[in-house]
Amino acid sequence: MNHRLALLGLALAACKTSGDWVPADVDESETIDALGAAGYAKVCSAFDDFVRDQYRTNILIRAACTAQALQSTETTAACADYIDDCVNDIPAVVESQLSSILAQASCPAVGVMTNGCSSPVSALTTCLDDLGAQLDNIKLQLTCAALGSPVPSDWYKISPPSSCTALASGC
């Protein structure tokens, strides 16, 4: 096998529906404008908590550690050892990378202005769920089989899903 970056295009079906994280007192059929700034902040906070609980998993940590290992080791064995050590004691560079990864699935990443936004809250929750689902793809992108190949600087970046583009058009 050549040493090209091993990217797996697997989407995991483990992402929960918005009903699992949306606060019970939020009406997803109302507009974001009617929800208001405080309600929007409440939804965003709930999603941030969900993302950190759901996606800051050993697998995502392992992916960030693998990216670092591919840049700093020379053998597959050293790569595997680096990953194990990294998962057990996360270096600051990996912690920073994890923060960048998780920040992509957040309300600030969507950039919605609540005032005058005619999109329903359900469009926001769908957009956020879709961003979260894209984090699932990141978790399985890198392996030590890619040793010797450069790690793209944007390996962890996700593209805005169409649901987020549609949301923005109403705001």
Residues spanned by the domain of 156: 31-169
The answer, yes or no, to whether residue 10 has pLDDT greater than 60, is no
| Residue 4 domain-assigned (yes or no) | no
| Residue 90 domain-assigned (yes or no) | yes
- Residue 105 has a pLDDT of 86
The answer, yes or no, to whether residue 55 has pLDDT greater than 60, is yes
| Residue 89 domain-assigned (yes or no) | yes
Total of domains in the chain? 1
| Residue 21 domain-assigned (yes or no) | no
At 109, is the secondary structure helix, strand, or coil?
helix
Going by C-alpha positions, the residue among 125, 104, 102 that lies closest to residue 39 is 125
- Residue 155 has a pLDDT of 83
- The string of pLDDT tens digits covering residues 38-49 is 999 999 999 999
- The string of pLDDT tens digits covering residues 89-126 is 999 999 998 888 888 888 998 888 899 999 999 999 99
CB 30 within 8 A of CB 120: yes
- Residue 159 main-chain phi, psi, to 5 deg: -95, 145
- Residue 11 has a pLDDT of 26
Q: Beta-carbon neighbour count of residue 63 at 10 Å?
A: 24
- Residue 152 main-chain phi, psi, to 5 deg: -60, 140
